């Protein structure tokens, strides 16, 4: 596993190669059509800036020196959610599927997020991506919500399945959940 924080032409090309191949086969990673370098290069530079700022980590899995899988976590930018992050762009190049790279990438990202003080990881996955959902569940993620038929792929609609993993908290953290009291509390009406 490698954890880049700066780019060069080789890294830009390698990430583009994986993203383009995954999307070409219908992969649910945020693009309708295989992206061009004009799309993936600025995205990667933005992620690497967040990495340098301590707000993200990008994991790359290599097979025989070639980037074949990737994923990232990115901290929520809101000041009241700084201990939560979202997993994204979890993918393996089609020629490397079945090697267990997805599980290795996600596991490494979970460890990295925990080490960075993240308490909760969340992710979204297309409802028909049963293999990914099973992978996330096997690593401890649980579904917390589902928006039915909101992901648009042409005339087709798919569920947006939202999942989370609790990474733990410091012992002095007070967990209030939805109980009355605390900042912003208001009584029920009527």
> Does the CA dihedral 106-110-111-112 come out positive or negative?
positive
**Nearest Cα residue to 67 out of 33, 86, 44:** 44
Q: Return the pLDDT at 136.
A: 97
pLDDT tens for the chain, 190 residues: list them: 999 999 999 999 999 999 999 999 988 888 989 999 999 999 999 999 999 999 999 999 999 999 999 999 999 988 888 999 999 999 999 999 999 999 999 999 999 999 999 999 999 999 999 999 999 999 999 999 999 999 998 899 999 999 999 999 999 998 888 888 888 889 888 7
Residue in 128, 50, 115 with CA at minimum distance from that of residue 88: 50
pLDDT of residue 188: 86
Residue 153: predicted pLDDT: 87
Q: What's the pLDDT at 45?
A: 98
Q: What is the pLDDT of residue 184?
A: 84
Angstrom distance (rounded) from CA 70 to CA 90: 6
Nearest-angstrom CA–CA distance, 152 and 32: 9
What domains sit in the chain, N to C, each tagged with a CATH number? 9-120 (3.40.630.30)
């Amino acid at each position: 596993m490698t954890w880049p924080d700066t780019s060069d032409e080789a890294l830009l090309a390698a990430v583009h190669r994986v993203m383009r191949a995954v999307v070409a086969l219908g992969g649910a990673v945020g693009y309708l059509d295989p992206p061009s370098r004009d799309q993936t290069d600025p995205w990667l530079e933005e992620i690497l800036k967040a990495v340098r700022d301590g707000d993200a980590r990008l994991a790359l899995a290599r097979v025989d020196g070639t980037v074949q899988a990737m994923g990232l976590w990115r901290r929520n930018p809101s000041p009241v959610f700084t201990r939560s992050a979202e997993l994204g762009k979890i993918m393996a190049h089609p020629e490397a599927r079945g090697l267990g790279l997805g599980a290795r990438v996600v596991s490494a990202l979970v460890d990295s997020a925990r080490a960075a003080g993240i308490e909760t990881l969340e992710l979204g996955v297309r409802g028909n991506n049963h293999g990914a959902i099973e992978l996330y569940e096997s690593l401890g993620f649980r579904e917390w919500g589902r928006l039915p038929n909101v992901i648009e792929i042409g005339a087709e609609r798919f569920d947006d399945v939202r999942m989370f993993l609790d990474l733990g908290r410091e012992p002095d953290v007070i967990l209030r959940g939805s109980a009355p009291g605390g900042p912003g509390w208001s009584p029920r009406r009527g």
